[in-house]
Chain A
């Protein structure tokens, strides 16, 4: 921990949770007296604790007792003092009327809306949807960066959001009648926004308070901190929905539809516009600006423009005074932050350490310049395998220095493909390298590029990150390699680089590397490894040599190199390490395919093993997430839980399928979200108009989307890309339509009460949370896509139809 006293976390936690409690009291979920009793007890506890410790410290000093535990006492005394100050400030506000009678206040005239309450409710629902989805995405991006999250943690954060929103909706359903819904919900929306802004800006500071600089934090701590920081935003989002549906009474499907439309608008705006222009810090202000315009509609001028203008000025101030860069500097102390930006793949931060430029993606180091050994080894171990390679395919890493190394050869063509366009533009901006004319820089996914290309290469250097996520694993699968091979000459060489099996191969590492090597062997006759700074896997149908020193001498190349030179390389050492590598990977032989991304599970297990061998935790929690709500939810809500589970599982599977086969997830994410939300809205709105429709047909529609996906996976290789995208889009629409329709259907069949829509919504969210976590973390890595989809189709189908 860096800071001895937790001034910011304690003050912030007390303030935010007090405000949240206050909202609950205003919403009638908790009585004001209970709320105040709670805080009175907190004040008593911290006051007594601080006071007693203070007296003890005084006694120790005055009487020179020399107690050993003085430091601990002092620390607690200060921490409790901070808490006491925060709570005392709140108490002062409670009793402000006592003081205010001595001061004169001008009370502003009460403001009247001039539109119908029903339309205001719809507007609030729209604003809720807009804010919920946008703030969720931005918080996920920020927490992923601050806590250096991987796919495992991102999935958890999404699940936690849904879980807490669901709890908020349940709490909201218990609100008492007679409260001013409009006032409370508007306050709650701005509380959501304010909390999100606060945590986006200070999450780095909080991280640095509790954890040392640059350190990977245990996932359990990350999840705990995320829960604490996300609750002030996620909880009100569910609560507000519940309050609105209660007010709307029988018109709740319209609230649901408008909330979905707001989510659609927010998702599109964020993913298609805002994140391309602003970094996360400015994006959250931009979203607030848009939401303020929406909420300003019912108001008269000039108040109408007050909040939007304020937010606009704040945004300008942040940019002018570089507050966003300052906030980023806290996350990366000791480094000079040069740029903070967003990309569809996440956030990119560029820092400088002397002349070295470092690129961080989502908080993790992607690459840095001046890594001569890595660049020389990656390029020359492969290039030296052939006499005169002419055409090279380079995937990623060009600006790290790989193109510079390639330019030492007389080449006809280098196609450098970079999937992340943002990374490319930042690299161009900071690395300031000029490429030779024969180097063509191509922005886009490599699979899409190869689909359109007729080129055949002598060398393919794949310098993408390790297969730690489903997205990254795409470059290591059998399907990709077969596709790649069609664009290689007979004697071509493919080169990958991995972190290195090192001196000992743990089980996850052994299984990952053996899977990759085994997959390469399925496509190419020869696979070898050369150990250097990393492990360089070379594959070809022609010979591959590992006696690099001799090879480099024979080729008479690499005279200009600093490291990869005959006089540097030790062939004997390479041979020994090569033998060790082959011994380690001999046992486990599992193919890595798009359908079954075996290395991703192993990497997750390897990541978890850094924090103790608790892989059973992963399975147990997933299992519990699935089962516990089923036992604790009301019987009539259980089907909605399953529907929510299935709906989010379908959406996740479809998005991942889109990514794996077309590489379009990030570009098309906004459109896919829009389709899903649009389907939800359409489904809920059409319930009233299509009441004669047999519910079983709607359930069939939902299950059919899974069956379609199975068929798609089995025939993917033969389907044109446009048709694939069309099928995925229609499937998404079908699934979301069914979820929206069933939401209304289940609510009404549960016996309508003011609380029912919120409870059903809560069940939907809880099911969605479970769906995302179980599918992404457990099922896909363990049994693959097709098996996961089959299990879900059978399970959901049986349950939904048997439950009537």
Chain B
């Protein structure tokens, strides 16, 4: 029999006191459970000392990307992958990918780099952006401490890639800049074993680490999300200029580059902005760089918008071609011929693409079989 009178004797003050104690206890438990994973010399097993940081009076300043987080002891960076531990800055995304897949290279999308091959694709959690429409938000907006991870150190990654017949390793899905050290070391081993390294990134990285990385990267797909600083801030929590700089540096360092632009209704579908972007690309030597216009579908927090009309994508492609860009593709749509490579000289199809299936129609060693013009790319 429940003694209701006894229950009624708890005063309001007592009730509030007990509730606060209980809440505090719960929070302490969570903190302690995370701390239990720490090792003596580093935060946890899957960590490595960060490559680019500077100790400052305000904490460790990470110099990897333009966010340049000042991280105090025990704190984590904005990308959730760096921690200040025992007087050093560590990455906690090393050897613990949460996503491991084998994808066709065309999925990145990379159309002019080793077409028809497979790419061993990995990602850890974390990202230095916060895009409202992120397709991989469950890992990009999380920390490696929160995701279910595999254990795959750099040499194991390369072994797996070779075993599965992959010609390249793609650092992708979330944001590989945030697992820089893991990517860098893996890329080094892969390079020695003749496996290509592919970076699929938002391009939001400082120049010094970019130049260091670029010595080990063979191809990159960079997301040029818009051509407006304001939109970059509101849609992605970033800025435009570092991304443009990344494109310039990668091209300068002879990394094969392809660019993706996601066309989002009411955000990035403004034709004037698209024209401005294409004009910039053309005037900065990117006419031979493939540009992929991708169709938007409502995802993550951007769900009150419709998918991009195909007419918008077709118009964007026209604008790009009118600006002088030679290889313009439309992705995520069933438009016939949207993925075909057309010789800019004679206008004939040299590579046919249907989804992820590639058929080389008339291209030999990067030369158009119809007219003999050179088609830019890393075809083998």
Chain A residues at the B interface, C-beta cutoff of 8 Å: 148, 212-216, 332-335, 351, 353-356, 358, 360, 363-365, 368, 370-373, 376, 502-507, 509, 533, 562-563, 565, 567-570, 573, 576-577, 580, 609-610, 613, 616, 620, 624, 627, 631-632, 635, 798-799, 802-803
- The answer to whether A610 touches B146 (Cβ under 8 A) is no
Tell me the complex Cα distance, A173–B70, Å. 55
Residue pair A212, B132 in contact (C-beta under 8 Å): yes
B282 at the interface (CB under 8 A from A): no
Is B160's CB within 8 Å of the partner chain A? no
In the assembly, what is the distance between CA of A627 and CA of B301, in Å? Answer: 34
Asked whether B104 lies within 8 Å of A215 as measured between CB atoms, the reply is no
Known: A212-B235, A568-B357, A573-B104. A335 touches B265 (CB 8 A): yes
- What chain A residues lie within 8 Å of B235 (beta carbons)? 212
15 contacts between A and B (CB under 8 A): A148-B303, A212-B235, A214-B266, A214-B267, A214-B303, A353-B265, A354-B312, A365-B303, A373-B332, A373-B333, A502-B138, A503-B99, A573-B104, A613-B146, A803-B4
Are A214 and B334 in contact, CB atoms less than 8 angstroms apart? no
B23 at interface by CB-CB < 8 Å:
yes
B25: interface (CB < 8 Å): no
B304 and A509 contact, CB distance less than 8 A: no
| A162 → chain B closest CB, angstroms | 23
Whole-angstrom distance between the Cβ of B369 and the nearest chain A Cβ:
20
Most A Cβ at <10 Å: residue of B26, B265, B304: B304
With A148-B304, A216-B304, A373-B332 known, 7 other A-B pairs at CB within 8 A are A214-B267, A334-B265, A563-B355, A570-B104, A610-B137, A627-B15, A798-B2
- Are B301's CB and A215's CB within 8 A? yes
**Nearest CB in chain A: distance from B298 CB, A:** 5
- Supposing A148-B303, A212-B234, A802-B4 touch, asked if A567 and B132 sit within 8 A by C-beta, the answer is no
CB within 8 Å for A365 and B306 given contacts A509-B138, A568-B354: yes
CA distance A376 to B103 in the complex (A): 22
Residues of B82-120 whose CB lies within 8 A of A: 98-99, 101-104
Residues of A within 8 A of B102 (CB): 576
Contact call B309/A215, Cβ cutoff below 8 A: no
Q: A353 contacts B26, CB within 8 Å? A: no
| CB neighbors of A among B267-304 (8 A) | 267, 269, 297-298, 300-304
Q: Write the nearest CB–CB distance from A771 to chain B, whole angstroms.
A: 20
Residue of B nearest to A534 (CB): B297
CB pair B355 A569 closer than 8 Å = yes
B309 touches A565 (CB 8 A): no
A376 partner residues in chain B, CB cutoff 8 A: 334
Chain B positions 218 through 262: 1 when the CB is less than 8 Å from some CB of chain A, otherwise 0: 000000000000000011000000000000000000000000000
Q: Which of B139, B297, B304 contacts A214 (CB 8 A)?
A: B304
Chain A residue numbers with a CB within 8 Å of B147 are 504, 506
Q: Does B10 contact A (CB under 8 A)?
A: yes
Could you tell me the distance between the alpha carbons of A502 and B309 in the complex, rounded to whole angstroms? 23
- Distance in angstroms from A586 CB to nearest chain B CB is 13
A570 to B104, CA, bound (A): 9
- Going nearest first, the 7 A-B pairs with the smallest beta carbon separation are A334-B266, A358-B306, A214-B305, A568-B355, A563-B334, A372-B334, A506-B138
B192 contacts A by Cβ under 8 Å: no
Query: Whole-angstrom distance between the alpha carbons of A573 and B117 in the complex?
Result: 12
- Whole-angstrom distance between the Cβ of A491 and the nearest chain B Cβ: 29
Q: How far is the CB of B366 from chain A (nearest CB, A)?
A: 24
The reply to whether B309 and A356 form a contact with Cβ atoms under 8 Å apart is yes
Which residues of B have CB within 8 Å of A803? 4
State whether the Cβ of B136 lies closer than 8 Å to any Cβ in chain A.
Answer: yes
Q: Is B345 an interface residue (CB 8 A)?
A: no
Verify A363–B304 contact, CB threshold 8 A: yes
Q: Does B182 contact A (CB under 8 A)?
A: no
Q: Which residue of A lies closest to B5 (CB)?
A: A802
Most interface-central of B10, B234, B336 (chain A CB within 10 A): B234
Does B12 lie at the interface of the complex (its beta carbon under 8 Å from any beta carbon of A)? yes
Q: Answer yes or no: B310 CB below 8 A from chain A CBs.
A: yes
Nearest Cβ distance between residue A185 and chain B, in whole angstroms? Answer: 34
Indicate if the CB atoms of B309 and A355 lie closer than 8 Å.
yes
Instruction: Tell me which residues from 324 to 380 in chain B have a Cβ below 8 Å from any Cβ of chain A.
Output: 332-336, 354-357, 359
The residue in chain A whose Cβ has the minimal distance to the Cβ of B121 is: A503
Q: Point out the residue from B19, B135, B306 that lies within 8 Å of A502, measured CB to CB.
A: B135
Residue on A nearest B264 in the bound complex, by CB: A214
Complex: how many Å from CA A191 to CA B146? 49
Contact at A214–B311, with CB atoms within 8 Å?
no
CB distance from A51 to the nearest CB of B (A): 31
Count chain B CB atoms within 10 A of each CB in A503, A562, A568 and give the residue with the most: A503
B179 at the A/B interface (Cβ < 8 Å)? Answer: no
Cross-chain contact A214 with B302 (CB below 8 angstroms): yes
With a cutoff of 8 Å between Cβ atoms, the chain A residues found around residue B99 in the complex are 503-504
Which of A215, A373, A632 has the most C-beta atoms of chain B within 10 angstroms of its own C-beta? Answer: A215
Q: Give the docked Cα–Cα distance between A37 and B23 (Å).
A: 39
Residues of A within 8 A of B146 (CB): 613
Chain A residue contacts of B309, Cβ below 8 A: 353-356, 370
Closest to B140 in A: A504
Bound CA span A488–B301, Å: 38
The answer for the CA separation of A264 and B12 in the assembled complex, in Å, is 38
Residues of chain A within 8 A (CB-CB) of B300 are: 216, 610
- Picked from B98, B334, B357, the residue with its CB within 8 Å of the CB of A570 is B357
Pick the most buried of B23, B146, B301: most chain A CB atoms within 10 A of its CB: B301
Contact with A along B23-35 (1 / 0, CB 8 A): 1001000000000
Residues of A contacting B123 in the complex (Cβ-Cβ under 8 angstroms): 503-504
- Distance in angstroms from A641 CB to nearest chain B CB is 14
| Known contacts A363-B304, A504-B147, A570-B356; A373/B265 CB under 8 A | no
Kindly state the separation between the CA atoms of A333 and B269 in the bound complex, as whole angstroms.
Answer: 13
Min C-beta distance of B117 to chain A, whole Å:
12
Contact status A616-B26, CB under 8 Å: yes
Which residues of chain A have C-beta atoms less than 8 A from B12's C-beta? 631-632
Q: Decide yes or no whether B307 CB sits under 8 A from chain A.
A: yes
Do residues A370 and B139 form an inter-chain contact, with CB atoms below 8 A? no
Q: Which residue of A lies closest to B303 (CB)?
A: A216
Report which of B4, B304, B311, B355 forms a contact with A364, defined as CB distance below 8 A.
B304
* Binary contact readout B52-88 vs A (1 if CB under 8 angstroms, 0 otherwise): 0000000000000000000000000000000000000
Q: Who on chain B is nearest to A2 by CB?
A: B234
Do the beta carbons of A503 and B355 come within 8 Å of each other? no
> Within 8 Å of chain A (Cβ to Cβ): is B180?
no
Q: Is B204 an interface residue (CB 8 A)?
A: no
A610 contacts across to B, CB distance below 8 A:
137, 141, 300-301
Chain B residues with Cβ under 8 A from A334's Cβ?
Answer: 265-266, 269
Cβ-based interface call for B173 (8 A): yes
Contacting residues, chain A, for B307 (C-beta < 8 A): 356, 365, 368, 371
CB neighbours of A533 from chain B (8 A): 297, 332
**Min CB–CB distance A543 → chain B (angstroms):** 24
The reply to whether A332 and B304 form a contact with Cβ atoms under 8 Å apart is yes
B311 — which chain A residues lie within 8 A by C-beta? 354-356
Q: How far is the CA of A638 from the CA of B125 in the complex (A)?
A: 49
B310-A370 in contact (CB<8A)? yes
A298 to chain B, nearest CB (A): 46
Kindly list chain B residues whose C-beta atoms are within 8 Å of the C-beta of A568: 354-355, 357
Closest to A561 in B: B334
Please indicate the chain B residues that have their CB under 8 angstroms from the CB of A505 in the complex: 138
**Shortest beta-carbon distance from A351 to chain B in Å:** 7
Min CB distance B157 to A, Å, is 16
**A416 vs chain B, min Cβ distance (A):** 23
Asked if residues A216 and B136 are in contact (CB atoms below 8 Å), the reply is: no
- Chain A min CB distance to B114 (Å): 16
User: Whole-angstrom distance between the alpha carbons of A563 and B136 in the complex?
Assistant: 24
Q: How far is the CA of A215 from the CA of B12 in the complex (A)?
A: 41
Q: Which residues of A contact B266 (CB under 8 A)?
A: 213-214, 333-335
Minimum CB distance partner of B358 in chain A: A570
CA distance A577 to B123 in the complex (A): 16
Contacts of A356 in B (CB 8 A): 306-307, 309-311
A802 to B138, CA, bound (A): 49
Known: A353-B309, A364-B304, A365-B303. A504 touches B336 (CB 8 A): no
